[in-house]
Every structure is written in structure tokens, then in C-alpha cells.
Amino acid sequence: MSPTTSSLAIAAILFLSNTCLAAGPLAVPLGTAANFVILAQSGISTVPTTGISAITGDIGISPGPATGVTGFGLILSADGTDSTSTQITGNVYASSYTSPTPANLIAAVSDMGTAYNNASGRANPDYTELGSGGLGGLTLTPGLYKWSTDVGIATPVTLAGAATDTWIFQIAGDLTIASAKAVILSGGALASNIVWAVAGDVALGTTSTFEGIILSKKGITLKTGATINGRLLGQTAVALQKATVTQP
């Protein structure tokens, strides 16, 4: 091979190996729901009397109005399109605010529903009913996982994979993580590549640590001191208590 041909061949091999090495399902398209760290349809609450929450990213509610966002001490902006809170590094958007906010939120909530349907509709899971829904102590490699039951994390669970690898968890029941327990990422795995599609309710226990994008058909509750690196995209309400929520 000429030097040019061989360097092209090396470039092609590097490209192919990078592409082929990514393990796990095709990424879930979040659309404009990805503009929000928390998106809910009926309410977003925090309990300021137990200590403030710390949210990094924008939050949105639709079709629920701004009065559905409670405990944050919202301060409306001059143009009325958004508000702020000392508990949020980002803005708050509600369907009752000034245009273009309502239309943007309708699109984002629609995209959230599409993303949930996409993730929960994937066929041919790599693992079915793993651990009978008990993930504590397991190390999960990239893939599509499916349960027809509740899923619980009673002791730490590890997601092991590279920064390009992906995980989708399809859960027909509720998802819970016990108090003070953690989802641990290893090998460079990223929260932005992990999707939990939950048909039931999600509850993260007191001082637990969670990773990934939660798409819940119902509500999401973060108990006192819970932390998530990811997004809370819920089709009813999101309830926080002294929680830390950071977008990846």
C-alpha cells in the first residue's frame, strides 16, 4: 500500500472500531424534552422547610400552570416568559406564562411522551426479568433490559461500560431505590446514555444517589436528600425534598 492508502486504511479501521465498540441500544430521541432537567405535567414541588433543593438546569410544567410549582419561591421575570428561584440554577417555565413559553412546553411534553413510547416500545430485550426485579449487587453491562414487575435497588448496583455505551431499562411496575443506596457508574459510563422507562411510580429513597434519564408514565418522588445526575421527565408530578438534581 502507498503511504496515503495505508493511512486511509488506518483511519477507516479507527473509525469502524470506535463505531462498532459502542454497545447497547440506539439512543432514545428526547427531542426538546432534553432542554429540561425536570419536566412534569401536573406539578413540581419541593419542601423548603426541610432544607432547600439544588436543581441545575431548566424545569417546566405543562399543561399545569405556574401555581403547580410549589416550594421554590418563584420570581417572575419582567417579560413574564419564565421565573427563577434561589433553588434553581436555570429557569422555570409554565404553561400559564407569556408566549412563546406555552407552545414550547406543549412541544417538550409531546417529545417526552414520544421518548417514553420509544424507550418502552423497543423489542427484543437482551435481558428479561433479571434478578426477578431486584438489581442490588448486580453489575449491568450495556443493553436493553425488560421487567413485567416492579424493580427495586436494595443494595448498590453498578452499570459498567464505556462513555459511548447505552442502557435502556423497561419497567412495567414501579422503580425504587432504598435509602442511602446508589447506582454506581464504572468504566466511563455516562448518565446521559442511561434511560429508565417506568410505567409506574418512581421513588428515590432518602440520601440515595441515582444516575440516568428517568421517563416515568406516572410520578417521580425524591425523598429527603436524594441526588440524581440525570433528568426527571414525568407524565404526572415530580415531588422533591431537599434534593439535588443535576442535568448530565
- Closer to ligand NAG by CB, 111 or 165: give it: 111
Could you give the CA distance from residue 180 to residue 182 in angstroms, rounded to a whole number? 7
Shortest reach from residue 117's CB to ligand NAG, in Å = 6
- Among residues 211, 183, 218, 200, the alpha carbon closest in space to that of 112 is found at 218
- Among residues 217, 221, 209, 169, the alpha carbon closest in space to that of 185 is found at 209
Shortest reach from residue 166's CB to ligand NAG, in Å = 12
Question: Given candidates 7, 8, 18, 29, which one binds ligand NAG under the rule CB under 6 A?
Answer: 29
User: Which helix (H) or strand (E) segment is 211 a member of?
Assistant: strand 209-216
- Closer to ligand NAG by CB, 122 or 218: give it: 122
Question: Given candidates 122, 127, 138, 150, which one binds ligand NAG under the rule CB under 6 A?
Answer: 122
Shortest reach from residue 124's CB to ligand NAG, in Å = 11
The upper half-sphere exposure of residue 53, i.e. CA atoms within 13 Å in the direction of its Cβ, equals 32
Shortest reach from residue 59's CB to ligand NAG, in Å = 25
Query: How many residues would you count in the chain?
Result: 248
- Closer to ligand NAG by CB, 119 or 177: give it: 119
Shortest reach from residue 111's CB to ligand NAG, in Å = 12
Assess contact for 131 and 151: CB atoms under 8 A. no
Q: Would you put residue 179 in left (φ > 0), alpha (ψ -120 to 50) or beta?
A: beta
Mark residues 101-120: x for contact with ligand NAG by CB under 6 A, - for none.
-----------------x--
Question: Given candidates 4, 5, 121, 132, which one binds ligand NAG under the rule CB under 6 A?
Answer: 121
- CB burial of residue 224 (10 Å; 0-12, 13-18, 19+): middle
Shortest reach from residue 22's CB to ligand NAG, in Å = 15
Positions that interact with ligand NAG (CB under 6 A) = 26, 29, 118, 121-122
